[in-house]
Chains A and B, each alone.
Chain A
Amino acid sequence: MELTKEEESALKGEKGEVLELAYRILVATGEAINADRLVPIHWAHLSGVNYNTIGDAGEEFLSKLSKDAKVQVKTTVNPMGFDIDKVSDYKLDDDFIKKQQSISESYKKMGVVPSFSCIPYEIFDLPQKNTQVSFAESNAAIYANSIAHLKTNKESAFSALASALTGKSPYADLRKEDSASPNLTIQMKVKNSNELTYGLLGYFAGKIAGSSVRISGTNDLDKRSCKALCGGMGTSGQCGKFVLDDNDDNQSEKVDFDNKEMQNILDELNTTDSGDLVVLGSPQLGLEEISDLALMLKGRSFKKRCMIFCPRAIQQQTSELGYANTLKRAGCEMLFDCCTCLTPLIDKDNTDGVITNSIKGSYYLKNSNDVKVNLKPLSQIIDDETKW
């Protein structure tokens, strides 16, 4: 990768330790994705906020870094481990709270917007088409490239952090306006699709696709299915972009996603037939999905506990529009600033099984929280788990 004189000098440490570290990361990632140079980016979105995901080593690293580091571009951040207004409702140990607050403070000190959301594309105004951004958080990177007309590598927590600190990122294929055409097409053959089938399709696609994939045979995707597809794809693979295209006139390899393939993935991720806790929001639910959910739940209430994860940015609107009330009456707990993935709020000792429609959530609940998961689409969750 070619560096400018100024970048070379920063890499050598002539502009301080923070920039040396940032350029070391950018150079390694640039090599990894065959970039020829660095380009300016206009928005960074960071992952690595929840104490459960980054641990003591991460907490200490950020605390040290924040003494000198400042972000150079608009920088937003992923969910953390709890909702500060609800801390007393959960048995969180003091150490967790202290470390989580330290992480949050370190990021604020560096100048980030404390958004604590994995759906930045839903809660911030989108910049104009083809704007270069750096999104860690796999579902957001895929959404940015595939739906929001933005350009990002499928960044890692550190590459996005390095981008925030320098305002630059390696210029590789996903950033180019004429990025390579996907060499694989997945043909959606599952009938009566819903967000669960799209999540499974995403997980399947992520496993076999390279850096991008074409998907044919999908109907118009609503927001829920779209986010499920991005979330599933981000969990299983390294694919950073999909193109919805029914035109078969291309040279790419074709693979069917049919009922058999879908069942294989369900067998991997669905680990129980029932549960005692309903969890929605991985990725977090935005205003559109909350509005939809409030409509579905009108006059109904959950027979089991139900946790719903949302960004803080929509809290006020959910109250003003009456959704918060409807959800509360239906027995839902709304939690802000946090999400399903590696949450300390769901504990295997107190949970027989989680019922969710999220493929992404199911993977991390199973592997990181050691909790059994029952996967169902939202419509079936409402049919089975609520009463009039």
Chain B
Amino acid sequence: MVEKVIVKGKAKGKILKSQIPINFLGAVDKKTGIIRDDKHDLFQKSIKNTILVFPYGVGSSVGAYTIYSLKSNNSAPYAMICKKTDLTVASGCALANIPLVIVTQKEYDSIKNGQEISLDTESKTL
């Protein structure tokens, strides 16, 4: 169940799920979408064309530009699903028009890595 819609839209794709918050500025390559923080559980994975599921964004406020750059470089996720909100991810997704929703802890736990899903913020369904 979608608890809150931050940025509206529809998306369909494969889930890439992380248990660790993401510092977009330090941890994500803005050209390729590859995670380059070796302490992160998505290290060396690409977030491009996925439905990215992660707890929330942390760290640098410039991470919002990273999200915008990913979109401009065609390396952005189709949508993002978080369990907590933060200003960096919210504003980056708003400018880049990447759908962003917040889900309950129970829903978050039930989402499986690799699963194909469609997201529609109008009907608030996954």
Contact = CB atoms under 8 A, between A and B. Distances in A.
Interface of A: 21, 24-25, 27-29, 31-33, 47-48, 50, 53-58, 60-61, 78, 136-138, 141, 153-160, 162, 206, 234-238, 268, 341-342, 363-364, 367-368
Contact of B36 (A61, A78, A367): A367
Interface residues of B, number: 43
Interface in B57-110: 57-66, 68-69, 71-73, 84-95, 100
Nearest to A31: B6
Interface string B13-48: 000000001010111001100001101000000000
B108 to A, nearest CB: 16
B92 A367 contact: no
A154 B90 CA distance: 12
A76 B98 CA distance: 29
A53 B65 contact: yes
B32 to A, nearest CB: 12
- Binding site secondary structure of chain A: helix
A21 B97 CA distance: 11
24 contacts: A25-B94, A29-B94, A47-B60, A47-B62, A50-B62, A53-B25, A53-B60, A53-B65, A54-B62, A56-B72, A57-B30, A57-B68, A58-B65, A136-B62, A153-B87, A154-B61, A155-B87, A157-B63, A157-B91, A158-B94, A159-B64, A236-B23, A367-B37, A368-B25
A237 B90 contact: no
Nearest to A240: B87
Contacts, number: 141
B37 A33 contact: no
B4 interface: yes
A147 B6 CA distance: 31
A55 B73 CA distance: 10
A362 B94 CA distance: 30
B7 interface: yes
A81 to B, nearest CB: 12
